Amino acid sequence: MSYEERRNKLYRWMAEERVSLAMFEHTEARQDPAIRWMTGHPGDGLLFLGFDRYGKSHSLLVPWDINIALIYAEADSVIAYTEFERQPLRALQGALAYFKIPMGCKVEIPPVTPYPLFLHYVGALFDFEVLCRNGGIHREVEVLRAIKDAEELGIYRTLSAITNELIHVLEQRIRSGELRTEEAVALFIEAACRKRGCEGMGFETLAAGPQRSFGIHPFPAYTGGDFAAPGLSILDFGIKYAGYTSDVTLTFARPPLSRTQERLVALTERAYRLALAMVGDGVAAKTIAAAVDVFFSNAKKSMPHALGHGIGLEAHEAPALRNRADNDWVLKPGMIFTLEPGLYDPAQGGCRLENDILLTEAGVEVLTNARIIRL
């Protein structure tokens, strides 16, 4: 699917909702990678989708770095952010003039806009109906992004192949003793992924040896301490390719393990298999998460985080796989998400297993081969 086709879906939504202009913002203060999803622009900037006075749809990209935008971005028009003094309100006013939006029309701004700034917009744009809401066009983008199109699926197959290759090489080098510290592991992954054409890491690598694996997200993310020493070590990483990120977690179990550690490993593996077996078209994501919570509860254990989450241009996006009353996501073909059950013991360390899962019309496809590796 082309960027134009993605934007066309939103123009149809805007026409139905009678929204004349919609603003998307990816800046240092408020980041929204949906701009890249709609244009391919990899940097900061603003994007305006609207209808001109003749009712024709049009996209206006206002990039911080126009040189990068002219190489990577696809939009109907591009105007440098400096033309608006790098101020979002000035850019919005400029877009209204550019599109020749009539007074009284609906103008939608990002729902993450701080309230004082929203009031500033309302005061400056008193001739327009300024919308700042949940459930608007930004929610529509979230829903569309949750189901990957053919181009995105192609990216994920390449991304997953690179991720799996790195997992294989990591296991070899850890077994051989070449990679012995958290730092060595983390830095190796970043260097290796860039050599294979990746943009870098999808998020900061979390490498925790046996003394630190009790944390869901260890602090700091990695140190010069031992990794894959006797006990349980956790490695959580994702690499970014063409803007999209993978997200996997491996646990390295080196003997001798205590009975408690063996039980943590066994329960985590069983919880993962339980969750994977429940994945299917039309299944409520909350149902799967609740089943895993019940499984751990029956074993007198508790998982302190969600079961999983969608991945894409962000490491955490829709759909959410968590056991919360407000989680109304239902799994559909085209969704890519993680399953990552884990247990953590302050004295014994932690164990987590996370893979990236694609739901297709034919069933479930496990894209990555992360696992609990016994050394």
pLDDT score, position 1: 65
The overall average pLDDT reported for the chain is 97
Same domain, 159 and 307: yes
With contact defined as beta carbons under 8 Å apart, do 41 and 69 qualify? yes
pLDDT score, position 29: 87
Q: Span 272-279, mean pLDDT? A: 98
Same domain, 233 and 129: no
Indicate the pairing of strand 317-321 with strand 342-345.
unpaired
CATH of the domain at 229: 3.90.230.10
Same domain, 237 and 368: yes
With contact defined as beta carbons under 8 Å apart, do 109 and 92 qualify? yes
Same domain, 67 and 116: yes
Same domain, 114 and 198: no
Burial class, 39, CB count within 10 angstroms (exposed 0-12 / middle 13-18 / buried 19+): buried
Helix, strand or coil for residue 179?
coil
Angle at 263 between CA 261 and CA 266, to 5 degrees: 115
Same domain, 253 and 217: yes
Helix, strand or coil for residue 166?
helix
Same domain, 117 and 160: no
Burial class, 90, CB count within 10 angstroms (exposed 0-12 / middle 13-18 / buried 19+): middle
> Position of tokens 């995105």?
152
pLDDT score, position 313: 97
Does the predicted TM-score (pTM) go above 0.75?
yes
What pLDDT, in 10s, does the model give residues 29-46?
899 999 999 999 999 999
What pLDDT, in 10s, does the model give residues 57-102?
999 999 999 999 999 999 999 999 999 999 999 999 999 999 999 9
Same domain, 235 and 332: yes
- Enumerate residues 6+ apart whose C-beta is below 8 A from 294: none
With contact defined as beta carbons under 8 Å apart, do 189 and 201 qualify? yes
Q: Span 111-140, mean pLDDT? A: 96
Same domain, 189 and 237: yes
Alpha carbons within 13 angstroms on the beta-carbon side of residue 283 total 21
Residue 268 banded pLDDT, cuts 50, 70, 90: very high
Instruction: Say how far apart CA 344 and CA 98 lie, in whole Å.
Output: 55
Both tokens of residue 22?
């919609």
Same domain, 154 and 103: no
If one counts the domains in the chain, the total is: 2
pLDDT of 243 > 90? The answer is yes
With contact defined as beta carbons under 8 Å apart, do 14 and 145 qualify? no
Instruction: Say how far apart CA 58 and CA 79 lie, in whole Å.
Output: 13
Residue 53 banded pLDDT, cuts 50, 70, 90: confident
Same domain, 161 and 121: no
What pLDDT, in 10s, does the model give residues 322-369?
999 999 999 999 999 999 999 999 999 999 999 999 999 999 999 999
Of 365, 362, 361, nearest to 336 (Cα)?
Answer: 365
The percent of residues in the chain predicted with pLDDT above 70, rounded, is 100
Boundary of a domain, candidates 129, 144, 159: 144
Same domain, 104 and 153: no
Boundary of a domain, candidates 144, 171, 196: 144
With contact defined as beta carbons under 8 Å apart, do 27 and 7 qualify? no
Boundary of a domain, candidates 102, 126, 144: 144
Indicate the pairing of strand 129-131 with strand 19-26.
unpaired
Of 67, 45, 55, 44, nearest to 21 (Cα)?
Answer: 55
Instruction: Say how far apart CA 46 and CA 211 lie, in whole Å.
Output: 45
Its domain, for residue 111, covers 3-144
With contact defined as beta carbons under 8 Å apart, do 307 and 323 qualify? yes
CATH of the domain at 61: 3.40.350.10
Q: Span 114-130, mean pLDDT? A: 96
